[in-house]
Amino acid sequence: MKHLTSFLLLLLVLSFSISAVPVKKTTHKSKTKPKPCTEGTSFRDCVACGSAVRESFRDLNVLKNRDDAATDPEEVTVADIRKKANDSGHFDPSQQVVVTGYVASLDKGGFQESCNCGRSDLRDIHINIVARESEQNDKTKFVVVEITPRWQKKFGMDDSDYNAMLDDVKTQIRHKWVKFEGWMLRDIAHLTESKTTASSGTPVCTGKKDEPKPCIWRATPWEVHPVTKYTVVAGP
C-alpha cells in the first residue's frame, strides 16, 4: 500500500510538471508582397516590375518591359555582344542597338516568369542568333534576342495560341539572316548559364532530362531585350 501511495504521488507531480511547460505556438510567416510598382507601364494588368520582390529583379523586369522603340540604334555585331572582354563596362542597358545575325533557333520563353507577373498567358519569344551559319549548332555562340508580350502585340502577333504564334515566327525568320533593333540588357538570372560568366568546367547543355545544372546554353548574359523591330535581310 505504501509503495502504491508513493507511485500515485509521483504520477501527480509529473502531471503538474508537464502541464507547467509552456507550449510554443507555431507561427506561419506570410509571403512578402511586392511593393507598388511606380515605373514603366502596365500591359494587360501586369505591371512593368512584374511579380518580383527583390529590388534587383524588379529593376530588371522594368527594363525587359520597355514600351519605347529603339529609334536611334547604334550598329553592333554578334561577335561584339558575345566577346568576353565586353561583358563589363562596354554595353549599357540604356543603349539602343541594331544587330544582324543568323537565326539558329527559336525557343519558348520562360514559363510564368516574374517579368510577366508569373502568368501563363504572357510569354516571351526567345531567339538565338549567331555570327555565321556554321555556328548554328554551337550553343556557346548563341546571342539571345527576345520579343516580349507587349511587343508581340505591337507586331500584330496573336498570342491567344502561343504555340501557333511561335510556329508563325519560326516560319518567318528561322535559318535566315535578320536585322534586330532593340535595347541592350544584361540578364543576371543567366550568369551561371552563359559561356562568358559561367564557372570553369560548366558543361554545355545537351537537352537531356538528367543533364547537370547549371549548364551553358548561351554565349553571354547580354542580350537584346526587348526587340522593337526586326527585318529579314539577304545577309550580314
- The CATH T-level fold of domain 71-233 is OB fold (Dihydrolipoamide Acetyltransferase, E2P) (2.40.50)
pTM: 0.86
Write out the chain in H/E/C secondary structure: CHHHHHHHHHHHHHHHHHHHCCCCCCCCCCCCCCCCCCCCCCECCECCCCCCCCHHHHHHHHHHCCCCCCCCCEECCHHHHHCHHHCCCCCCCCCEEEEEEEEEEEEECCCCCHHHCCCCCCCCEEEEEECCHHHCCCHHHCEEEEECHHHHHHCCCCCCCHHHHHHHHHHHHCCCEEEEEEEEEECHHHHHHECCCCCCCCCECCCCCCCCCCCECECCCEEEEEEEEEEEECCC
Instruction: Please write the tens of the pLDDT for every residue from 148-167.
Output: 999 999 999 999 999 999 99
What is the per-residue pLDDT across 132-141, written as a single tens digit (0 to 9) for each? 999 999 999 9
Q: What's the mean pLDDT when you consider all of the chain?
A: 91
Work out the average pLDDT over 107-124. Answer: 97
13 pLDDT band, cuts 50/70/90, is: very low
- Quick one: pLDDT at residue 34? 77
